[in-house]
Chains A and B, each alone.
Chain A
Amino acid sequence: MKIIKYLILSSILIVMIFPLLWMFRVSFSPGDLGMDLISLFSTGFTLKSYLDIFGSGQMAVYLLNSILVGIVVTLGNILFCFMVGYAFSRYRFIGQKFWFYSVIFVLMIPAHIIIIPLYLIVYKAGIYDTYWALILPFLVNPIGIFLVKQYIDGLPSSMEEAARIDGAGELTIIARVVMPLCKPALAVLAIQSFMTNWNSFIFPFILTSSESVRTLPVGLALYQGHQAIDWPHLMAGSTLAVVPILIVFLFFQRQIVSGVTAGAIKQ
């Protein structure tokens, strides 16, 4: 029985990771692979595709753009989602209920239907085809706000009260008391926003046009059109797009899982 179970589990595992292993293998091959499985092993290994990418290719620019935009958006998300989530949880202000419903509303509407007006707004604001277009609309995201608010709701406010009685100012309380307590939630938020941004395609695609501000997924998607597909180079670029995510995944599995399940299960 046990053997059968492992046999089933392993077959599924092979199906799930074979395409990724294939990508990895092709990225090291000097040319296209043959049509048989043997060529997976018999074809030679070379770093040429990677050296080309880092040497001269546009792909290095795309990679740097992805890193830059990913870091800025993630830092923005940590700061702003924390601020907003904290405000929703601990303050009472005018229109609070309405603004909180606007968070839930945006969480639930399909983002792709606003591509036309977003393009027009970004264009008319004069930031089309700049880093600003890749950053400004995404600095705060509703999932992050929701995550932080839920988390702070669950924290007792007694420590904040104690600090207030001791005469600590609002900013001191936030920086010294609340933010350290929120670390687990902020870690989930940071990882999720980095991964979402890193893999994002449609928005960076419609909001930019020149190669100098192109992110990696957009660069890869448009690479095809350049010439007859050069698979080793394309797969080397793809590997570079996947590896950071895999590293994040290996180190932060718990946070990723709790990010995925945060909305589904009442904790």
Chain B
Amino acid sequence: MNSRRAVGSLFASPWILTFLIFWLFPLLYSLYLGFTDYRLLRPSFHWVGFQNFAALFSDSAFTEALKNTFYFVLGTIPVTTIVALLVALLVEKQFAGRTIFRSGYFMPSITSMVVIALIFTNLYSRGGYIHILAQILGLGPPENGFLLSNKTALMAIMAMDIWMSVGYYMLLFLAGLKSIPEELYEAAVVAGAGRTRQFFSITLPLLKPVALFIVVINTIKSFQIFTEIFVMTGGKSGTSTAVYFIYETGLSRFEFGYASAAAYILFLIIAVFSLAQFGLFQQRSLQ
């Protein structure tokens, strides 16, 4: 049976190599770098202890980026989740044209983030359709467009992100709705429960696992927001985020040590949510 063991390891080796070279090593390497003053063109670098971490928390560019990231996460996730649920309920039951609506709503989710960011850069700019619409509605949008003003830039990007991801989470909610046994509703009807009562006593409680899953994966994803910031504002107008900060210090100013320390702080924050996801995962596989 030894040869079967060898074959098993051989077949698994592409992953083992990828994991070691492109995941485990980078993770340990950047932990190490976080404690050094390594930067480009410096021939030697030194262990500096927690100096980078201490410096980060008094670096207003970093705290600002972290604050924006939290703002983004807390602002988008509740809205995305609730809107996705409402839309899922709207297109759940069979009706003429259902597929068209479902597909149409899902379309932004499979479109390239860069492309969407470019489109909205135009729509949000002065004279762009969203800017004009806001003027017609008397909302008093910033004169030079939404993305050049500190007051509106981050909010505008958040709105775009909600628009983009609603369809994706709608699909997850639809799968959750489908997994609720029809008999439960039939029993509820027999017991004399109305539509509202059915929704709050059956649908909502049974959707809790899916909703939890959605919130966790969306949180992990949103903490890493980068592309839309890079394309739409370049981190200006008060829209810098944690990953944007890591990119800018690490790969534009080449302060590898300092950027690695920042990356680890973000990693620790997200780890809480990753652990929650792992908990959910284990719960499911135990069922």
Residue of B nearest to A260 (CB): B171
Interface with B: A43-51, A67-75, A182-190, A194-202, which one? A194-202
Question: Residue A87 at the B interface, CB < 8 A?
Answer: yes
The distance from the CB of B142 to the nearest CB of chain A, in whole angstroms, is 16
Residue of B nearest to A206 (CB): B251
The distance from the CB of B252 to the nearest CB of chain A, in whole angstroms, is 10
A140, B220: Cβ atoms under 8 Å? no
B105, A12: Cβ atoms under 8 Å? yes
| Residues 200 to 247 of chain B near chain A (Cβ within 8 Å) | 210, 213-214, 217, 220, 223-224, 226-227, 230-231, 243, 246-247
Given A103-B15, A224-B118: 20 more A-B contacts, CB < 8 Å: A12-B105, A19-B120, A91-B8, A91-B11, A93-B5, A99-B16, A102-B24, A112-B243, A113-B243, A115-B250, A115-B263, A117-B29, A118-B22, A140-B14, A195-B110, A206-B251, A218-B114, A220-B118, A238-B112, A266-B284
The distance from the CB of B286 to the nearest CB of chain A, in whole angstroms, is 10
B22, A88: Cβ atoms under 8 Å? no
Question: Residue B49 at the A interface, CB < 8 A?
Answer: no
In this complex, the interface size class of chain B, counting residues with CB under 8 Å from chain A, is 35 or more
Q: Which of B120, B175, B230 contacts A265 (CB 8 A)?
A: B175
A79-99 interface mask toward B, CB cutoff 8 Å, 1 = contact, 0 = none? 010011011100111101001
Interface with A: B60-68, B74-82, B274-282, which one? B274-282
B residues whose Cβ falls under 8 Å from a Cβ of A:
4-12, 14-16, 18-19, 21-27, 29-30, 33, 87, 90-91, 95, 97, 100-101, 103-105, 107-108, 110-123, 127, 129, 132, 163, 166-168, 171-172, 175-176, 179, 210, 213-214, 217, 220, 223-224, 226-227, 230-231, 243, 246-247, 250-251, 256, 259-260, 263-264, 266-267, 270-271, 274, 277-278, 281, 284, 287
Q: Which of A13, A114, A199, A256 contacts B112 (CB 8 A)?
A: A199
Q: Which of A120, A202, A220, A249 contacts B110 (CB 8 A)?
A: A249
Question: Residue A23 at the B interface, CB < 8 A?
Answer: yes
Can you give 23 contacting A-B residue pairs, CB < 8 Å? A5-B95, A13-B104, A16-B105, A16-B108, A19-B120, A83-B14, A87-B11, A91-B7, A113-B224, A113-B263, A114-B26, A114-B30, A114-B263, A116-B263, A117-B25, A117-B26, A117-B260, A170-B7, A217-B115, A220-B114, A235-B119, A245-B111, A265-B175
Residue of A nearest to B115 (CB): A238
B22, A265: Cβ atoms under 8 Å? no
Complex formed: what's the CA distance from A13 to B170 in Å?
A: 14
B230, A221: Cβ atoms under 8 Å? yes
Instruction: Tell me the interface secondary structure of chain A in the complex.
Output: helix
Complex formed: what's the CA distance from A80 to B26 in Å?
A: 22
A264, B210: Cβ atoms under 8 Å? yes
Question: Residue A257 at the B interface, CB < 8 A?
Answer: yes
Residues from chain B with a CB closer than 8 A to the CB of A96 are 8, 12
Complex formed: what's the CA distance from A35 to B30 in Å?
A: 49
The distance from the CB of A29 to the nearest CB of chain B, in whole angstroms, is 12
Residues from chain A with a CB closer than 8 A to the CB of B104 are 13, 16-17
Question: Residue A119 at the B interface, CB < 8 A?
Answer: yes
Complex formed: what's the CA distance from A14 to B104 in Å?
A: 9
Complex formed: what's the CA distance from A243 to B15 in Å?
A: 32
B111, A84: Cβ atoms under 8 Å? no
> A20-B111, A86-B11, A115-B250 given as contacts; is B26 within 8 A of A110 (CB)?
no
B29, A20: Cβ atoms under 8 Å? no
Residues from chain A with a CB closer than 8 A to the CB of B16 are 99
Q: Which of A6, A140, A249, A256 contacts B18 (CB 8 A)?
A: A140
Complex formed: what's the CA distance from A103 to B9 in Å?
A: 15
B30, A117: Cβ atoms under 8 Å? yes
Q: Which of B95, B112, B217, B246 contacts A116 (CB 8 A)?
A: B246
Question: Residue A22 at the B interface, CB < 8 A?
Answer: yes
Residues from chain A with a CB closer than 8 A to the CB of B251 are 115-116, 119, 206
Question: Residue A57 at the B interface, CB < 8 A?
Answer: no
Residue of B nearest to A76 (CB): B14
Complex formed: what's the CA distance from A86 to B7 in Å?
A: 11
Residues from chain A with a CB closer than 8 A to the CB of B226 are 112, 202
